[in-house]
Amino acid sequence: MLMALTPMANFHQIEAHEKIERFKSFENLLGYFTPYKKAFGIFFLIMLIATILQTFLSFISKTVTDTEI
């Protein structure tokens, strides 16, 4: 069974309109988070520092365990 689908004549116009609507929804959602921009920045900075420290601490504990035991 073969099914052939052809797009409508205004296919690209509809696609462009949907992209604009998606961007507007994303922009609207982003509007709720803008008052907390500084808090999110601090949160991600702390998470980055914690990840880096956790990586270094695991290497340090591996080295101590390998040399002492």
Kindly state whether residue 8 falls inside one of the protein's structural domains: no
| 43 alpha-carbon distance from chain centroid | 14
- Nearest-Å Rg of the Cα atoms of the chain is 26
pLDDT at 7: 67
What predicted TM-score, i.e. pTM, was given to this entire model? 0.51
Give mean pLDDT, residues 40-44.
95
| Highest averaged pLDDT of the listed ranges 8-17, 45-54, 56-65 | 45-54
Q: What's the domain count of the chain?
A: 1
The tokens describing 48, both together, are: 């980055």
Range of the domain at 67: 37-69
CB-based contacts of 33, cutoff 8 Å, min separation 6: 40
Distances in whole angstroms, Cα of residue 25 to Cα of each of 19, 21, 30, 46, 56: 10, 6, 9, 29, 41
